[in-house]
Amino acid sequence: MVDVRIPAAITRLSRLTSDREKAFGAFRAQPSGKLDRAIQLQIASHLAQEIRRLSRASLPTDTAELARYLIGKTIVREIGRGRLIGRIVETEAYPPGDSSGHAYRGRTARNQSLFLGRGFAYVYFIYGTSYMLNVTSEKKGTGAGVLLRAIEPIGGIESMERFRGTDKLTDLARGPGRLAEALAIDRRLDGVDLCADGPLWLGAAVRETGQIRRTVRIGIKREVDRPLRFIEESNPFLSGPRFEARGRHG
């Protein structure tokens, strides 16, 4: 006997996939923040299904390579029974010996998480207002990291809106301070293993990553010409003025 439920299930799955692709295509074509809210939440629900946690072995050791690798991957924040999820769309690398990096003058009480080896959280407070979330890189004992500059919210959007005090989707996590606020990041998460089960972890990509572009970093005063910022080109959730997204592919 043929189980007629199987073709029906396949048809429903096909329709779901098609609807998701159409909805996301419409989203990318809309002016920033003007997508119908119901569609926003529907897209997020479809994309934020089970996400595979990244293993430490999968992370490149080299800081610049890690910054590029993280584009399109996900950052997941567990809060109680809730889960906040974002696609990483913008990063900056701060490799060993970089005078703009926090490890440049050696290990301190503030930056010791940078020396744990790749795949840990380094969280610091700056300007008296904002937290910044970094992913550590290199081998244990070498201080370096990757700043997460922007994410595309795909899960727990309503909670992010409450944390940020805005319902403008493209402004929820555009820029490292907003990103940390949207994900409820503070110093209590400094040193957390991002490759283990816990309150904050790195996940695999949930869809194909777009073209990756490499540019100079934003808002620094030293080593300003190094092309160590990585972005998913044309993503509406990027931080900084449009001209700062210009650069080369790589």
Please say whether the beta carbons of 195 and 54 come within 8 A.
yes
Going from the C-alpha of 203 to that of each of 75, 136, 155, 173, 231, the distances in angstroms are 6, 15, 13, 17, 18
Express each pLDDT in 146-200 by its tens digit.
999 999 999 999 999 999 999 999 999 999 999 999 999 999 999 999 999 999 9
153's tokens: 């919210």
Confidence of residue 16 (pLDDT cuts 50, 70, 90): very low
Per-residue pLDDT, averaged over 235-243, amounts to: 79
**Alpha-carbon span 69 to 94, nearest angstrom:** 14
**Alpha-carbon span 38 to 149, nearest angstrom:** 27
Closest CA to 118 of 81, 145, 88, 157: 145
Express each pLDDT in 206-218 by its tens digit.
999 999 999 999 9
Express each pLDDT in 51-75 by its tens digit.
999 999 999 999 999 999 999 999 9
Per-residue pLDDT, averaged over 214-233, amounts to: 93
Q: What pLDDT, on the 0 to 100 scale, is given for residue 7?
A: 39
**Alpha-carbon span 102 to 106, nearest angstrom:** 8
**Alpha-carbon span 115 to 121, nearest angstrom:** 11
Per-residue pLDDT, averaged over 238-249, amounts to: 64
The rounded mean pLDDT for the chain is: 84
- Is pLDDT at 22 greater than 80 in this prediction? no
**Alpha-carbon span 32 to 2, nearest angstrom:** 48
Which residue in this structure is represented by tokens 């490890």? 103
- Is pLDDT at 223 greater than 60 in this prediction? yes
Express each pLDDT in 72-87 by its tens digit.
999 999 999 899 999 9
Going from the C-alpha of 200 to that of each of 18, 39, 89, 245, the distances in angstroms are 31, 27, 17, 28
Amino acid code (one letter) for 117 = G
**Alpha-carbon span 6 to 139, nearest angstrom:** 49
Q: What pLDDT, on the 0 to 100 scale, is given for residue 242?
A: 52
